[in-house]
Every structure is written in structure tokens, then in C-alpha cells.
Structure 1
């Protein structure tokens, strides 16, 4: 799964990167995004003529849910079942988005110890997670989910799932709606996977109240870095 990630680029940087117009206003960067947090998403405008940079609550809330709390259990959608899932199928067909990220976190257990790792492009380039969005309730609260797929390469040693990451050349087809699910859900190539590094980071990231660039620093003890 993808249950914690970082997204720290400014609104202006994201507008330039995704060639989108912001409708969300300024927001604070986050090095420790957690379920139900507000996150930036890139989706098509109502006319489908332009990309907009918006803000959504992380955790898709289907129309039949009684309240927004249902979204906490729906932060991820499995790529293997997203096209047929009652909760996600309509959004997959009609309401897809990109979720900008710098990297994501997973934990590896070694005995009683859990060591967090941060997966991020080695060159500092941004990531775009495949996402879905919908609105909920009379106030049309925008909510979203991140698609996951089977982890590949060295990433599988950290966790058996990883976000479905979309290279830039696949952004237009993902945002367009429709299309062949098999092609849309293709994982990264081996060459693209090699660009992602796995870093041990500080245990502070395990507390959702902690935030800031210090969370990406190496563990204070060299032993922690040898768990992986």
C-alpha cells in the first residue's frame, strides 16, 4: 500500500510542471502526508479542455458513504480490481487524476524493530502517482485515492505493493478518461525503476504529528541503516 508520502513543491512549481491552472490556492508543503490530509491533485476541468491543480482529501469517499470517515479506509485502490470495484470503477472510467509526490514511505520489520524507508527518484525529480477523484455530500467535498500495483525490483524487498507511478508521456492518456485498462495500468519499466532509490530515514516519520525536511535525514544510528 501507499499510506504515507511527501509532497513539498510549491503551487507555482506544480502549475509549471503539470501545465495546470491552480484553483486551490496556496498550501503548506508536507514531508509526512497521512490519510485524510488535504493533498494536491491534477485533474481535467469540467469542460475537459484544461488541466487544473486542485486540492483533495486523501481517501476517496463513495457517494453512498454516510460520512467522510469512510475515506480513511480508501486511500488506495488496487490496480488489479479498480476497473470493476463498486467504489472505484466509475471514477476510474471518468475521474482520473495525477497525485504529485516527491516520494513515499514504507516500514521494514526486523525482529521488534521497524525501520522506515523513503523511496524517491535519485535525481530529485518529481513523481506523479495515478489517482482517482470524486466528490461527496452537499458541499461536494473533493476526495481522492492513489492506485497501487505489485512492487517490482528492489522495491519488493520493502513492501509487496507500491504506488502506480506514471511517467510524463502517460499523463495525457491517464487524464483523458476512457481507454484500455491494461494499457493505462502498465507498471514502470526496469529502466524507470532503476531511477528510484531506497533510503533509510528517521523513525520520527512514524508519528503523523511530525513534519519537516528532517524526516528525510538518515537514521541517527548506523545499525538502523543496515536492516535493509
Structure 2
């Protein structure tokens, strides 16, 4: 995932797509950035059920002393083998619903965002 993304799905769409019993009222967001609160779908105490929670975007490795979020993304080809990610990749997964994301291209010496809709 890149550094900015969009979540414009309605609570009803999220509930239907992910099989959620309850989804809080959410407003469409078109510029979600690292360290902001984001809606995630994660297992509940009953592993057969999922819930929606608001969590701060950024990985806090299990060995972190300060609890501050660090990396915001990882490469699929290395995530299982790197110490920073391997424990979380194996044991602490969640789903980040997204309606789109941005990639930045340099045009005329300036970075210009390009939105990709999902």
C-alpha cells in the first residue's frame, strides 16, 4: 500500500462485504495518511466473527518499547522474512478496506497525485 488512500464505502457496504454485524457511522475520506485513525476489519474474541475498529495507521512491532507506529507498508516478497514484520504478518493481521489509493508521479518538477479506484 502506498502513502495515501481513500475509503468512501458506506457502513452498509462494509457490513455486507465483510459480514459485519455492526459498523459505526463513517464519513467518506479521500486523503487518509499515515498516523491517522483508519477503519480496519479484524477478528473478534470469537475467531469466527469480525469487527470494525478504528486504529492508528502504522505498524507497532511486538518488540517496540515506545509503542509509536513505525513502517506504513511492506513488500510482499520480504514481509515474512524480516524481523520487523514477520511476527505481525503471522499472528496480527487485519483488513484495511479501501476504495482507492494514490500514486505520485513527477510532472514538470512537481509531484502530482494520481488516484486509482478499486
Q: Within 2, Cα distance between the matches of 1:56 and 1:90?
A: 19
SS at match of 1:76: coil
1:8-157 equivalences under 5 Å are 8-22=8-22, 25-69=24-68, 71=69, 73-121=70-118
Answer with 1 or 2: which has the greater Rg: 1
Q: Taking structure 2 as the reference length, what is the TM-score of the superposition? A: 0.85
Gaps of 5+ in 2: none
Q: What is the CA-CA distance between 1:15 and the residue it aligns to?
A: 1.0
1:144-223 equivalences under 5 Å are none
Higher-RCO chain (CA-CA 8 Å, sequence separation at least 6): 2
CA RMSD of aligned residues (A): 1.9
Q: What is the CA-CA distance between 1:89 and the residue it aligns to?
A: 1.2
Q: Taking structure 1 as the reference length, what is the TM-score of the superposition? A: 0.47
Q: Within 2, Cα distance between the matches of 1:113 and 1:95?
A: 38
What stretches of structure 1 move > 3 A for 4+ residues in a row? none
Moved more, 33-42 or 51-60: 51-60
Give the structure with the larger helix fraction. 1
